[in-house]
Structure 1
Amino acid sequence: MLDVRPEGPEDHWEVEALYDLCFAPGREALSSYRLRDGVPPVADLCLVACEDGIVAGAIRYWPVRVGAARALLLGPVAVHPTHQGEGLGAWLIRDSVERARAAGWLRVMLVGDAPYYGRFGFARLAGVLMPPPTNPERVLGLALQPGAWEGVRGEVTRAA
């Protein structure tokens, strides 16, 4: 049985180890990490899924700005290899998106694969510019309220 709960300070290093395991070396050199530097994550949306007290999956969110608009930057999300293929990543995405909606956030964005994230409603964001080097085809967004991305354009920058 998996226990899903907000990530606590005691989970930090285990979650970082999971990300190191699941992602290529140098993951912190990606442009999305520059948007996170010195900015605290949105704690209520950062979740861990634990089995017998061991982190099996994790998801984090960060506040960003797109032009003048506030948004959430989803990521990273990772599932330990022993739990991949069980739907845990999908569950973490769906649950956290619903928590974001309930908390009053209007929009979520990420850098990822459209075929995977499209099943959750994410679509390419035209006119939203991530810091380079980022493939614009991989910049995806989800409106948490109808029309929340309409007219939102510009560079993605760190939240103040």
Structure 2
Amino acid sequence: MIGGSAAECTGVTLFTLAQETAQDWWDVEALFDTAFAPGRTALSSYRLRDDVPPVAALCRVARDEQGQLGGAIRYWPVLVGGTPALLLGPVAVHPIAQGEGLGAALIRDTIANAAEQGFERVLLVGDAPYYRRFGFARLEGVIMPPPTNPDRVLGLELVPGAWDGVQGEVTRAA
């Protein structure tokens, strides 16, 4: 089970998925530092997050039975040509928990929550072969701040047709 209850990813480790709280903030930041390159905050996607709070209801953490953080995911509000969208990321799994399906559980859980909450579309910058299994596909005409590779700009419709006609620059939400 996912969403505040236990999720056994491989039969070895039991993780509990829960909404991120203020007390989780620094643990999550430390996980992101561990999982990504030291210059992660210099990426153009971080300019879309500057001075904009994440969508708290979609930010989740996964902790094991001892309370150790195994994974985390965050979402941010953005605009694509003036149309609201969610920016997924970062999503990270601690190296000792990788390969257990925890990242997939976080993504599936939060996508379902986003749809339930009435969000229509999700955007991310990532590896298409990995994210395709969740329904993401390359977006044409959606322009992330440079130097983003356009082939890595992916989107998911939470409502059929939600990306139809949506094009333009991705900008920070006010």
Range of TM-score over shorter length? over 0.9
Task: Give the alignment partner of residue 30 of structure 2, picking from 10, 17, 23.
Answer: 17
Residue 36 of structure 1 aligns to a residue in which SS? coil
2: CA distance, partners of 1:68 / 1:156:
8
The TM-score normalised by the length of structure 1 is 0.99
Q: What is residue 114 of structure 1 aligned with on the other side?
A: 128
The residue type equivalent to 1:71 in the other structure is A
2: CA distance, partners of 1:68 / 1:37:
18
Residue 85 of structure 1 aligns to a residue in which SS? coil
The TM-score normalised by the length of structure 2 is 0.91
2: CA distance, partners of 1:129 / 1:31:
12
Deviation (angstroms), 1:54? 1.4
Q: What is residue 11 of structure 2 aligned with on the other side?
A: none
Deviation (angstroms), 1:3? 1.2
Deviation (angstroms), 1:31? 0.6
Q: What is residue 71 of structure 1 aligned with on the other side?
A: 85
Per-residue deviation, residues 9-40 of structure 1 (Å, max 9, x unmatched):
00011000000000011000001000000000
Q: Number of residue pairs matched?
A: 160
Q: Percentage identity across aligned positions?
A: 69
- Name the Cα RMSD after superposition: 0.5
1: CA distance, partners of 2:120 / 2:140:
17
Gaps of 5+ in 1: none
Q: What is residue 45 of structure 1 aligned with on the other side?
A: 58
Q: What is residue 150 of structure 2 aligned with on the other side?
A: 136
Per-residue deviation, residues 132-159 of structure 1 (Å, max 9, x unmatched):
0100000000000000000000000000
Q: What is residue 36 of structure 1 aligned with on the other side?
A: 49
Q: What is residue 7 of structure 1 aligned with on the other side?
A: 20
